[in-house]
Amino acid sequence: MIHTCRFILLLTAMLLLTHSTSSYAAKVTLDTFCSQLVGEWQGSAANPNVAPKQVSTSVMCSADKRNLYISVSRGSRFSNSETWWFRQQQDHILLVYANGITDDISQQLTLYEQAGSYSFLGKGEINQRPALVQLQFDPMMSDTKPSTAGWQWQQSAHYLDDDSEQYQVIRAISLLKPSAKNTLPTE
């Protein structure tokens, strides 16, 4: 009986330790994430209350892995393509966003990693409203291989002039490795 109680207590302690260490996000630098996202991706982009649109996304990482460039094909939200330039600067990351329609947006972010997911967090402005911004990249695992099949990129905001405690999804983009079956038409 005593051995069974000790075993249960030890097992409970191990589970709590495992759960508590995996539930915290660690602040990381761009070089830990940059090379994982590099490549050509296809998928859909969806905004709330708008039908999803097919997009292609190109991702480049600089040789020193301190710059990450993401280009989302035209038509996903604007008639021009979008460019997201993330640049490591000491302990934060500078994001410059451009779409060729509106003024470029610059914002300071911090990058966190938790259980294989990456999240850029920062304070900024969305739709002329002050907001906490979250750009979350979650791995999508392959059913057939133990590797990442793609990423789900969710862009969210918590508006500071709102009493809500939750982030609102602004847009989500799926980043899937191209295959012969799902090749997008070129324009």
Q: What's the average model confidence in pLDDT over 35-55?
A: 92
pLDDT at 128: 86
Domain residue spans in the chain?
25-176
pLDDT at 23: 65
Tokens of 79: 């008639």
Q: Counting Cβ atoms within 10 Å, is residue 61 exposed (0-12), middle (13-18) or buried (19+)?
A: buried
- Going by C-alpha positions, the residue among 43, 38, 62 that lies closest to residue 53 is 43
What count of Cα atoms within 13 Å lies in the side-chain half-sphere of residue 50? 15
Question: What span, in angstroms and rounded, lies between the C-alpha atoms of 47 and 54?
Answer: 12
Whether the per-residue pLDDT at 13 is higher than 60: the answer is: no
Whether the per-residue pLDDT at 111 is higher than 80: the answer is: yes
Q: Is the dihedral of CA 11, 115, 140, 123 positive or negative?
A: positive
Question: What span, in angstroms and rounded, lies between the C-alpha atoms of 29 and 162?
Answer: 31
User: Which CATH code is given to the segment(s) 25-176?
Assistant: 2.40.128.20
Whether the per-residue pLDDT at 16 is higher than 90: the answer is: no
Tokens of 125: 């402005």
Whether the per-residue pLDDT at 3 is higher than 70: the answer is: no
Whether the per-residue pLDDT at 62 is higher than 60: the answer is: yes
Question: What span, in angstroms and rounded, lies between the C-alpha atoms of 46 and 42?
Answer: 13
CA distances from residue 50 to 46, 77, 155, 170 in whole angstroms, order as listed: 7, 10, 15, 11
Rg of the chain, C-alpha, whole Å: 20
pLDDT at 18: 42
pLDDT at 155: 94
Residue 101 is given by DSSP the state S
pLDDT band at 113 (very low <50, low <70, confident <90, very high): very high
User: Tokens 């259980």 correspond to what residue?
Assistant: 115
Tokens of 106: 């610059």
Q: Are 122 and 133 in contact (CB under 8 A)?
A: yes
